[in-house]
Each structure stands twice: as C-alpha cells, then as structure tokens.
Structure 1
Amino acid sequence: MVIAREDTPGDRRLVAYLLAEAGHTPEPARLRQQLAQSLAEYMLPAAFVTLESFPLTPNGKLDRQALPAPDRAAAVTRGDEAPAGEVEKTLAAIWCELLGLSQVGRHDNFFELGGHSLLAVQLLNRMATTGLAISLATLFANPSLAQLAGVIQYREESLASPFADNPVVLRGEGAQPPLFLVHEPSGDPLVYSPLATMLRVDRPVYALSALGLHTTGNPPTSLEALAACHVEAIRRVQPHGPYHLAGWSLGGVISYEIALQLQQSGEDIAFIGMIDSYHPAAHQKRDFSASSERALRDEMIVNFLSLHVPESERKMLAQLQSPIDIQAIFYLCREHNWLPKDIGYEDLLLRLETVLYIRPLGLRYQPTPADLTINLYTAKPDESDDIWRGWHGTVSSDSSLHVIGGTHLSIMQPPFLAQLARQMTADLLPRSSSHPVVVMQEGAACETPLFCIPGAGASAFSFLELVALLPANLPVYALQARGLTDVKTMPHLTIEETARDYICAMRERQPFGPYHLIGHSFGGWIAFEIALQLQAQGEMVARLIIIDSRSPGVKPPVSHLGAVMKLISIYNLMLNRELPITEDALLGMEPHQRLICLHQLLIEAGVYTRNTPLSLLAGVFHVLYANLNTSYIPRERYLGVLHSINAQEANGAEREQREAVWREYATQFTTILSPGNHMTMLTMPHAGALASHITTVLSQP
C-alpha cells in the first residue's frame, strides 16, 4: 500500500509499505525502476518500507498511525559509497536535513531520494548560504551528489543568464530525434517533468528555461529574440532537423516562432505541439492599462498557488482582495503550510516577475502565417470559444486538433495530463507501415469504389453481409484499424491521424476523386474527417454516409473496466441477448483476467469457436479501448451533403439530439431510419434495407 506522509512539516512524500515473499529482500531502487515503466514521476514512492506484517487495529483494520517512518534502508539509493571531499560532504549534510535521512551516498539521486521541485528550491537556497550557489537547471541536469559536486568544483557557475544551462535534460535516453519542450511564462522548465515521464516515446526530452530572464543584463526585448536564443540552445544539442517542439500556454507560441526560424534556415520541422496555446491576437484586444496589469499579476499569483494549495482550501484564493499584496499572500502561505518553510519571498517573486516580463513579449508578437503543421491540444472549450484558439488560417490545413479536457491550468495536471501524454505519444510515434485496405468486393474497374470504415474495435468483416447485398459491379474496400491484428502495434489515437493514414491508403487504390465514403458508428467520425481533409486538398467527395454515428464532441475518459463493459454491450446487441456477466463480477479481476473471462463467454455464446485464440479478442479490445478514449471536434464544416442513416431500434430523443449537432457541421444534411439496432442493422435480416438505402444514395445524380 502507498500513503502520503509528512514526517517533516511542509514535506509530503509518498511512502510504499509492502510484505516480501520469504527469502526475498526487495531493493527500493529496483522497485522504483519497475514502477517507473508504468507510472508518472509524481506517482512514484520516495521510499519503500518492507514489513513482516501490517499493523492492525483491535477491529482488524489497517492501523495507518502505526506504520513506521522510512529510514535509510527504505530510500532509493545507488550504493553506499560515502561522499568524498568537502563539497560532497557539505551537500550530503544539506540533503540529509531536507530529505529526513541519516546518510546519503555519493551516487544517490536527489529526486529518487524523494526530492521534488519545491524541495529543489529549498536545496538551492541552502546551498547558496554555504557559498555553493547553482541554478535550478544545473541541479536538474546533474541530480546525483557526485555530479553536482563535480559541476561546482570544476567550473564556475554563472547565474547571470538563465540560458547558461539550456536546454535542461528531462530524459536523456532515446534513439529518435529529441523533443524540446518550451517554457511557459514562468520560464520554469520543471513544469514539464511529469509530462516527460509519461510520454512513451523513444526520444530524449529536453526543456528550455527562461526563469529569471528579466535579471540578465540584456534580456530579449521581443518574442522573436527570445526564440532566437532558444534556437542556439537547441542547435547545441541537435545541429540539424528534423526538429520536434512543444509547449504549454505561451510555450506553444514560442515553439511556433522557433519552428519558423528553423524552417527559414532550411531545416525540417517534424512536430509542433501546442498545449492550449492561444494565438496572440486572441489577447491583444484586452485593455492593458495599469489596472489590468495588476489584475494580470493577481491572476498569475493565484494560478501559481493553485498548484500547491489543497483543493479543499482553494476557495480562500478566490476571496483574496485585489490588488493582491504579495507579501501578505506569502505570509498566508506560511500560515497554512501551502509552501515549504524554506521557500522565500524572493523565490515567489522571481517567478511572478519572470511571468510579467515574458508574457508581454507574447502579447506583442504577431505570428507569420506559414505552411507549418501543428498539433493543438486544448482544454475543454466554452461555447463561445474558438476551438482552434485563433490558429486556423495561420497554420497548415493539415494541422490537428485534440480536445483533452479540463482547464488551461488542469490540462497539465492529473487526470488530464495522462490523456495529454497519450495523445502526444501517438503524434510523436514514427508512422506505421500498416496497410489498412481490405478488398471486400472487386467490382468493375470503371466504377467509382466505395470505402467503408468500421466502428470502434470492429474489423472489415462487420460489413460482410451488407456488402454482399450491394450491386455486384461496385468495388468495395474496407479500411481496417491499426493494431487490430497485432496488440504490439499502437492504435491510432486521434481521428485526424487516422484520416491522414487512410487517405494515403485510399489514394493507392483511387488517386483522385470523386470519392464515396461510409462510416459506421465511430467510423462515421473518421469518414467525416477524411471528407474534410480531402475537401481541403481540393478533392471532390461525391457521397458521404454515416451510419448510426454519435455526434462529435468531447468524451469523458473510459477505464479498462468501462471499455470491457462497452465491448460486452456491443456483443449483447449483436446477439440480441445479454451475456451472463456483470460489472461487479469483473470489478475484482485483473485486466487480463477480464478478457479471458469474456473470451470464454463468447465461445459459449457461439460468437467464437473453441479454436479462436485469445489474441483475436485482445486485438479487438486493444483498438476499442483507444477509440473509446478518443474525442473529436471537426475544425470546419463539410460543404457537401452529409447522409445520416440511423438505427430504428434506438432512443428517439437521443437520435434527434445527435442529428441536430451533425447538422451544424454540414451544409446539407439528410436523415434516414433503417431497421435493427446499432449492430444488427448491418446483418441479416436488416442488412437488406440498409443496402437499399445506400444504393439509393450512391445512385443519386
């Protein structure tokens, strides 16, 4: 079990308690290393305490108060080699005091021992008082005791420029070109450390810092000049492209300007990720008088504190009087233990003044339109929001929009951070060599083919009975999801990415329009996005048909258990009866056990044969799980006719609401009802009616 302990006031850390098998002595470093493969950095315990048994209350429940505090043996250490030399011994004493340890080894890692961003600031303050002043970037790049001492001993540390140690290494390993994460207005690179841990990419990850930019002798006076400084730092690590850049808030805007400068010098830009980054024009209409500057300062103080104030106490921040007295708010933080006691007034002020220097650079910036493709990851949009945050028309029409959810602040915090990392991982992975086209019916070479996209987790064969009833001279191809037959292959995680890959495959069969498209359920979203991308490329889409497709929008996250229950509901619709399994029965099972159980039920129901391997169901679930956690908001309207064919056996009110949303995304919209439910409408005896509707639409002039 894992609990949060605060053995030293203001220093909360995760501690894991475990029972070891007989004859085994778990090593904290190895346990942490294994957990790091599936958990974000902020979720990893700082210590692992092995017990002979868990302490219990007289009622037989776990006695949390009796759990012992972690000692040296519980910490994540890297050997017992003692600190060597005066600098290492001085650092070791400071580390022990801050981390609550009796001793540390010279190869121990500050962050693995339980250090975090706020403790890092305390460490820097303590070091400065002993004459060992360094920058935050230097600590992050050299986290072991010996490394840090070596930096202090063998080179003079310069705090005059925040660019001295740029870029900061967040993750050093990786065979593919690195990802550079660009600071937001605070200039602090550490805001990206949780994201860097959660990205499942084979790339080094660096962060660009500008904390304390305003304290330098000649700070950049424009965002273009700031970007130029970062270009120099990036080229020190990676002299030539392809470059991968991303940033949250203003960091996304700076990423765009960096990409422009690199592109203008002849370099290739492979990826630009903007995390809820607004086009500067969206803010330039605001009144920036003295009063609004004070309001902006107040906003930044509250946003910074919200990261550290418990949610139950955040209402106190909303009650602060404007303009906020920074000295008073600092003492309020001390009173409520919101910040560690060694975080000084100057530390808070440094970040706020960095914000107030850098943000106006962004407000004065006017991005030059360019053929640069961006991936825009946004918080949940308000009804009045431009979902493209003002970038549509400035960037390439091939750009992708991914609605993550949350707010501008919480998009970088759990649970939305996990979804953000997942989407970015998908966009940063190398292009798959999968071939999605499945020939369903050869037809006649002179006829325009029909491309069909199955629903979530479904294979091309979900259209088999339907295709058999379409005209024999009609060529029919199905586009099958990536990862369906190989669970080691990452499924598409965005509609836009799926559509791009499918268009490439379609053009191999039919280089030019007019195109005919059909999408069932989730496949309707993909078909619609394919139509939009073809439309942007100047191609003609003659027929676009969606079959019982949910209206576009933001989906709430779906858990593993929720995805299994959704898959069961799909099979229930196919069978027209319910499988004998409940959610409560699956709740206590491990994820793989749930699939084994469902596999056996499907064999008993006659869906699978005794020879059907479990891997077939695993592939279906693999793709379905990804699809259920994919949201979609079209970036523009479809300028043709959108034909919607819906299942008769469905909730009428829900269908009308769904159709009302679809009408907003198409110039013309038609709707038809077809017999059957969401699944049986594709099979006999209902497939005949559906085939008739489709044939009628395809034969229209």
Structure 2
Amino acid sequence: TLVFDYPTITEMVERVMALLFPDTEAAASESSSNQSDRPAFASTIVPIQPHGSRPPYFFVSGILGTVLDLQPLSQALDSEQPFYGLRSLGLDEAIPPYTTMEAIAAYHIHALQAVQSTGPYHLGGYSFGGKVAFEMAQQLQKQGARVASLTLIDIQRQVPAIEQTADQWSDIQYITELAKFYQGLVDQPLVLSPDDFSKAHDPLQVLQTALQTAGQTMTTLDLQRALAVYKANTQASAAYRPQPLKGIPVTLIRAETVGALGDYLPNAAQTDHDPTWGWQPLVDTLTVKTVPGNHFTLLRFPHVWTLAQTFSDTLHGQDLPSE
C-alpha cells in the first residue's frame, strides 16, 4: 500500500530508505514524525480513489491482506465513485495482526468511521475479505448504523475442509499454502517442487526466490509480515461462523471459471447444488451474479470491466463508460 500512502517519488524514496536503513536520518525523521503527527492507531484504510460525488465504497482485501490487486477494479469504476480499500493490519507496520474475524472487523470499522462517521455504508470484500465485510455489516447494524449494500466476491460461507485444521498446521504447511495464493496472484507457476519447503533450511527464503524469479520482488521483512498476516487471516476464517444478517441486500458475485483455488472454494458440482454457496439461509435478500474469469483473473483486465459493471448495477443501477 506504499504506492497509495506515499504518492510522490520523494515520499516513496524516503519511506523505502527508512525501511531498508532504519538507522539513517530518514528513518529517524520518520520516527519523529510518527510520534508527533500520527496517532497510535494504524489505519487500515487505503484511499485508492477517494474522489467523486457518490457515496464511498469500502472494500476489504483478500486473505493476503494487500489492496494492490483492487486497483484495477477502482480504475474500471466510474470516476465519480470513491473507492477505499481495507488492508490487513501488520503488513506495513510492526503490529501483530488479529486472529479473529470479530476483532479484524471491529478494527476496520474504527478505520472506516474516520472517513465516514455515519451510515449508510456500502461494504464489500474479495474472497476472505467478503467474510470480514459480512462481520463488519453485523457489527455496524448492532451499533445502529445503516448498511445500504453488501457485496461478497467469490467466497463461500462454509469453512473449506482444507482450512478446518489450520490451527494445527506447521510453518511449512502455511508457507506451502501461501505459495498457492501467490501463484494465483502473479498468474504464473512458481518454480517450486513439493519437497522444496520441507528440505530447506529457510523455507520462506525459498518462496522469496521463487517469487523473484516470477517477477514479484519482496523483501525478507515484507514476506515475514505477509506470512504472519496470512496465518492470522486463515485462523480467523477457519474459526468464523457467520450469524444471520437481516435487512441488508447482499450480492454474491462468483467467477464463472471454478477450480483456480482448488479445495478452498466449491467445485462445479457443488456450485450447481447450491449456487448461493451457503449464504442464502443467513440473509433476507441475496442476488447471485457471475462474471468472467477465475478467482484471481476476475480482478484483472479485461474481466474486471464486467465486474465493475456488475458493481455499478448493484450500487447505482447506472452504466459505466465504455473502456
């Protein structure tokens, strides 16, 4: 999220220097600034596109916690649509991430209300973020706030079988599963064999090297934080049992192509049996829509144009300008 938090080259360079060389004057300057100018609360709000005349949309990131993959969706939406991402705590700061859905949602609400203090709210989330958004809607409703719409993108209600034992996973298994998500994110196979992690002295470095080969450069610190966030989010997802949510229109948007995420999402036969992926019993009004692409590519061009159109129809009933 540095791209959005530090939009100028000078600010970006100073921030990167502070991260790479914490003993330098730049780091000392930033530390002093943090203490005097910034609150202790680390906001998880990322203003991807904060301008426009329409009510803002708040969208929770997927299980990796980053909002960078949400930028194409923001670009494809109408220029009058403010679009805020909600990233995972712990990616950009030395703060342990929360490990329950309830705590994650409560923290995001705190950040959200610094931008929009009262409802009605428009919420959404991608994959894991859909469950976070669902819990946020629950908590906001209990606070007496109005949630005008809730959009869930490619996420089922049930805990997938592979995730049910996440609290027993070893570090190697977490890194192995994390690699699957990064492989979808970079949209190409990572150069890894099944034994690479189990035989390695430093499994995380093996993943770091594979990502670098695929053109995705991450520092050791970034990858350590990403692993911590992935662990916390996986544990939160595995333990979460969403409760009925009444009085809020909910839209589930599914990818047409299933299977990109393996056992984490229903297969074609399971989807035919229950197109609502388990959400129908919990809500009053549920609309299910499908968009081109798979779990990962629906957020990328050209498929994201259709996703953005579906978003626009859900929120405003208006057409987007053609690309």
TM > 0.5 between the two? yes
Provide the residue aligned with 1:414 in structure 2.
301
Provide the residue aligned with 2:279 in structure 1.
391
Provide the residue aligned with 1:185 in structure 2.
63
Size of the alignment, in residue pairs? 300
From 215, 221, 226, the counterpart of 1:338: 215
Provide the residue aligned with 2:8 in structure 1.
109
From 199, 204, 226, the counterpart of 1:351: 226
- 1:257 and 1:284 map into 2 onto residues whose CA distance is 22
Deviations 1:198-221 (A, max 9, x none): 21162321122224179536x545
The aligned amino acid for 2:216 is L
The 5 A counterparts of 1:454-473 are none
- 1:241 and 1:295 map into 2 onto residues whose CA distance is 41
From 90, 96, 100, the counterpart of 1:212: 90
Q: Secondary structure at the match of 2:226?
A: helix
The aligned amino acid for 1:383 is A
- 1:354 and 1:263 map into 2 onto residues whose CA distance is 27
The structure showing larger relative contact order (alpha-carbon pairs under 8 Å, at least 6 residues apart) is 2
Deviations 1:26-50 (A, max 9, x none): xxxxxxxxxxxxxxxxxxxxxxxxx
Deviation of 1:271 after TM superposition, in Å, equals 1.3
Percent of aligned pairs with the same amino acid? 24
Deviations 1:155-205 (A, max 9, x none): 5389997x5133221112112221111122222233322221221162321
The aligned amino acid for 1:307 is L
The aligned amino acid for 2:19 is N
Provide the residue aligned with 1:252 in structure 2.
130
Matched-pair contact (CA < 8 Å) for 2:175–2:204: no
The 5 A counterparts of 1:467-616 are 490=319
Provide the residue aligned with 2:287 in structure 1.
400
Deviation of 1:407 after TM superposition, in Å, equals 2.4
Please give the TM-score of this superposition, normalised by the length of structure 2: 0.77
The 5 A counterparts of 1:123-522 are 125-126=19-20, 128=22, 130-133=24-27, 155-156=34-35, 164-200=42-78, 202-212=80-90, 215-216=94-95, 220-283=98-161, 286-288=164-166, 290=168, 294-308=172-186, 311=188, 314=189, 316-317=191-192, 321=196, 323=198, 325-334=203-212, 336=213, 338-340=215-217, 343-371=218-246, 372-380=248-256, 381=258, 382-385=268-271, 386-396=274-284, 398-429=285-316, 431=317, 490=319
Deviations 1:294-345 (A, max 9, x none): 4443121232244336x3xx163466645472222323444x36234xx322
- 2:311 and 2:153 map into 1 onto residues whose CA distance is 10
- 2:17 and 2:148 map into 1 onto residues whose CA distance is 38
Provide the residue aligned with 1:547 in structure 2.
none
CA gap 1:283/1:266 in 2 versus in 1, 3 angstroms: farther
Q: Secondary structure at the match of 1:210?
A: coil
Deviation of 1:122 after TM superposition, in Å, equals 5.4
CA gap 1:357/1:215 in 2 versus in 1, 3 angstroms: farther
Matched-pair contact (CA < 8 Å) for 2:98–2:232: no
Matched-pair contact (CA < 8 Å) for 1:284–1:364: no
Matched-pair contact (CA < 8 Å) for 1:303–1:409: no
Matched-pair contact (CA < 8 Å) for 2:48–2:71: yes
Provide the residue aligned with 2:3 in structure 1.
none
Deviations 1:433-475 (A, max 9, x none): xxxxxxxxxxxxxxxxxxxxxxxxxxxxxxxxxxxxxxxxxxx
CA radius of gyration, larger in: 1
The aligned amino acid for 1:356 is K
The aligned amino acid for 2:56 is P
The aligned amino acid for 1:330 is Q
Q: Secondary structure at the match of 2:84?
A: strand
Alignment RMSD (CA, Å): 3.7
CA gap 1:156/1:367 in 2 versus in 1, 3 angstroms: same
- Structure 2: state its 5+ residue gaps: 1-5, 259-267
- 1:425 and 1:292 map into 2 onto residues whose CA distance is 42
- Structure 1: state its 5+ residue gaps: 1-106, 135-148, 432-488, 492-559, 561-590, 592-701
Matched-pair contact (CA < 8 Å) for 2:166–2:238: no
- 1:186 and 1:157 map into 2 onto residues whose CA distance is 31
CA gap 1:108/1:404 in 2 versus in 1, 3 angstroms: closer
Provide the residue aligned with 1:679 in structure 2.
none
Matched-pair contact (CA < 8 Å) for 1:257–1:367: yes
Deviations 1:394-450 (A, max 9, x none): 122x21111113322222233322221221122122x5xxxxxxxxxxxxxxxxxxx
- 2:17 and 2:85 map into 1 onto residues whose CA distance is 21
- 1:171 and 1:293 map into 2 onto residues whose CA distance is 36
Query: By percentage of residues, which structure has more helix?
Result: 2
Matched-pair contact (CA < 8 Å) for 2:197–2:206: no
Deviation of 1:257 after TM superposition, in Å, equals 0.8
CA gap 1:287/1:222 in 2 versus in 1, 3 angstroms: closer
Provide the residue aligned with 1:669 in structure 2.
none
Deviations 1:488-508 (A, max 9, x none): x639xxxxxxxxxxxxxxxxx
Matched-pair contact (CA < 8 Å) for 1:280–1:363: no
Matched-pair contact (CA < 8 Å) for 2:196–2:206: no
Q: Secondary structure at the match of 1:376?
A: strand
The aligned amino acid for 1:395 is V
Deviation of 1:261 after TM superposition, in Å, equals 1.1
The 5 A counterparts of 1:20-39 are none
Q: Secondary structure at the match of 1:384?
A: helix
The aligned amino acid for 1:384 is Q
Deviation of 1:276 after TM superposition, in Å, equals 0.6
The aligned amino acid for 1:378 is R
- 2:310 and 2:211 map into 1 onto residues whose CA distance is 35
